[in-house]
Structure 1
Amino acid sequence: MKKQLKQSILSSWYGTGHWTHLLSPLSRLFNTFAQKRRHHYEQTDRWQPPIPIIVVGNIAVGGTGKTPVVAALVDIMKNQGYTPGIISRGFGAKGQQYPVKVTPYSAPDDVGDEPVMLARQLNVPIVVDPDRVSAARWLCQHTNCDLIITDDGLQHYNLMRHIEIVVIDGQRLLGNGMTLPAGPLREPVNRLNEADFILVNGQPSDHLPIQAFDCFSLKTDQLMPLTATTRPIPDKEKIHAVAGIGHPQRFFDTLSAQGFNVIPHAFADHHHFNRQDICFHDDLPVVMTMKDMVKCLSFANDNHWYLPVQAQLPDNYGQKIVALLAQRLPQCQNTATRS
């Protein structure tokens, strides 16, 4: 029942169903509350970060490709001479004490799946804390970072930021354009006008109500095993595809485009996997996302694989960000302490 309701809501938000439009009075209340909350934070005496902060976020619920963008941005800014660190909420984390520094060996249940995925990809400090200001302070006090990149946190207005990057899914775009609960948006569409950069994952499937945006793609690599295996890499054959991400269909479509005959198994975003979730009592390969891989390592077998992806950002993106930071750096250079 719960799964059917979720599918019905998504269909109304992004497809041909329209029943959630009946919830528009609640959306107006949501907008009012969100605006008052933002105004409250922006009028308070917020912590002034001594180093620049780049927020990578979205205004729609669900997956947009935001975390691969964060990983790509880290590499780009390293090439521009920066020493970046990452902060994250760590969605679904059940840690007992924050802030927490994430390592490639951290338990996803303790710090969240996406931070562990990033830690396995990148050699930069990553800190998880639901309070992004606390996480940013920790990086400033305990590392030599000169740039902080936040994985999500666009609506975390208690955190000062110098650049905002909004990521939009090119297939689903902004759905019906309405805010929660009538639509999928956390903030009204006009919020996009305030962002410094807008990145669209793939080519837009329809018109976007904004003039300036850039497109990026997710580049895939060959399948990688979760454990040591002597099996050949699956190649254009029948497979089980497992995805516990915000937009599972995009993953299934990617595998289909590579020639695989996909048996899809969609799970909720940030799903806590167990052995039974990825065992299907046959000898077909089981292929999953990088985010799901970090949660399945402890019980995977030699026929479990994951698909590495990397965000390919526009060639001049680093230069554009550095140029904008140069204009805004005086905001943080006058701060004398990194605490």
Structure 2
Amino acid sequence: MQSVLTPKPPRSSKSGRTARAQGPATGTPKAAGSARRREIWAAYGFISPWIVGFVVFTAGPMLASLVLSFTDYDAIGSTHNVGFANYQQLFEDPQVAKSLMNTLIFAVLRVPLAMAFALVLAMLLLKVGRTAGLFRTVFYLPVMTPPVAVGILFLLLFNGNVGLINHVLGFFGIEGPSWTTDSFWVKPGLVLTSLWSVGSTVVIYFAALRSVPKDLYEAAELDGAGRWTSFRHVTLPQISGTLFFTLIVNTIASLQTFTEAYTAFFGTATTQSYSSDAALFYVVYLFQQAFQYMHMGYASALAWLLFLVILVITIIQAKVSKRFVYYEGDQR
């Protein structure tokens, strides 16, 4: 009986204590490191299609164009190194300054108008309830329209004599301008046409507006804030990050506009020089130098100048945005 009640002495196995002490220090980290490496290689495997596509279709062509910008490459004859001659020509070519100014004016007109129009449509979607999905699809469908068709649509709608826009203005007793021939109205007409494809921005704004906490509106209402005050001090700060994102995206897209203007003013046999000069955007001129005149080296220099312009504008926007963009968790 005493042997049963007497507690058994603990086993003092040095090998057991050593195994338990060394297990976590040697075996587990090695297994964890192996699993970690497998996860890393699996991640690289999943993103490898994007990496290959980026190297082959983006980084590779960019580096090639940088090399070609220092040559007289024309895709036909022999290629010679010309140093900085192409870049020097950029400052001597008056068409570069003209096309760049046309592009900047177009971007300044289009970006704020497109953002405001898309925001109005997104706020209207919040009011329609269950049918928001249907209208969201309707607003997005024009994005799928080929840009060439949008260029033809511009000629049909904004024709000074038989265009639908001037007919509607005439119904109200307003004499419509010559959208396609008056150099002053060419860019505003193209800007209005570009509003046809703001559906993607509408969808982004709609998602941002739905994520604004309702209790913020309730608190503002209790404080006596009206609709405009709530929009200014609640809605805009809460979606400022989304507004900044679309500002960057729309600015880059506007600076690279090409198809609509080229289709309307440079892709037809009836192109008139006095109107096409107003529609000579930077990428249109780049395309002409590359594929009409076969000045591939000079076109590469034009492309890198546009890249630097977009880079500088984006950096400026990012610096200025720090004063206006609010993010959750921001302690400012």
Q: TM-score range by the shorter chain?
A: under 0.3
Question: Which structure has the bigger radius of gyration?
Answer: 2
Q: TM-score, normalised by structure 1?
A: 0.23
After TM superposition, the score normalised by the length of structure 2 is 0.24
Structure scoring higher RCO (CA < 8 A, sep ≥ 6) equals: 2
Tell me which protein shows more helix as a share of its residues.
2
